[in-house]
């Protein structure tokens, strides 16, 4: 039997060891797929506010005209109302024959934080509402005030009641 380590008289045997090749393309595709999935998940339910650049100085900006309707009230009075607002919808409800009760929500009546003081910007809305309610004296109205959740429940309940009372006082005062 011949000794395998004996290299005398025989040609040396060559041993060739081939390195296993790594398929980098598959790994790169996997990493890119994971990154794409993470990016897609990070954008789910994200609502970015639109950034609007101010108009350059010297250019006139025009806002589209707001549709105002002159609405005739019982008793011969008229009031100017913007469609799709509380006052417009309430007046149409009171003038119609739809079944009561119905809930309406102020769309442009806000209060400063922790305040029941009516802001000057909201007084025209309340003035128009007072005219509408005066034209329909048999209408029964219940005011409900709300507050955000920044304070205690008791403080928020009191603030909501104070806000409703302020609106009621403004309506009866008008």
pLDDT at 66 over 90: no
pLDDT band at 65 (very low <50, low <70, confident <90, very high): low
- Omega cis (within 30) before 101: yes
The answer, yes or no, to whether residue 159 has pLDDT greater than 90, is yes
Stretch 138-144: mean pLDDT: 89
Q: Are 137 and 153 in contact (CB under 8 A)?
A: no
Instruction: Answer yes or no: is pLDDT of 63 > 70.
Output: no
pLDDT at 10 over 60: no
List the chain domain ranges. 69-173
Give the mean pLDDT of the chain: 81
- 94: phi then psi, degrees, rounded to nearest 5: -65, -30
Quote the tokens at residue 31: 């990493």
Residue range 79-92: mean pLDDT, rounded: 90
Query: Does position 8 have pLDDT exceeding 70, yes or no?
Result: no
**Residue 55 pLDDT grade (very low, low, confident, very high; cuts 50, 70, 90):** low
Candidates 1.10.8, 1.20.140, 3.30.1490, 3.30.1330; CATH matching 69-173:
3.30.1330
């Amino acid at each position: 039997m011949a000794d395998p380590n004996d290299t005398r008289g025989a040609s040396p045997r060559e041993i060739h060891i081939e390195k296993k090749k790594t398929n980098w393309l598959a790994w790169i595709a996997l990493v890119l797929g994971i990154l794409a999935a993470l990016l897609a998940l990070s954008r789910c339910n994200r609502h970015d506010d639109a950034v609007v650049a101010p108009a350059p100085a010297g250019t006139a900006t025009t806002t589209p005209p707001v549709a105002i309707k002159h609405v005739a009230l019982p008793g011969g009075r008229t009031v100017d109302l913007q469609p799709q607002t509380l006052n417009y919808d309430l007046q149409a409800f009171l003038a119609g024959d739809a079944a009561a009760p119905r809930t309406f929500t102020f769309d442009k009546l806000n209060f400063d934080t922790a305040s029941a003081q009516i802001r000057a910007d909201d007084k025209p809305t309340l003035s128009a509402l007072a005219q509408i309610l005066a034209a329909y004296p048999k209408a029964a109205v219940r005011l409900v005030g709300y507050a955000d959740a920044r304070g205690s429940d008791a403080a928020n309940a009191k603030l909501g009641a104070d806000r409703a009372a302020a609106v009621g006082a403004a309506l009866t005062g008008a």
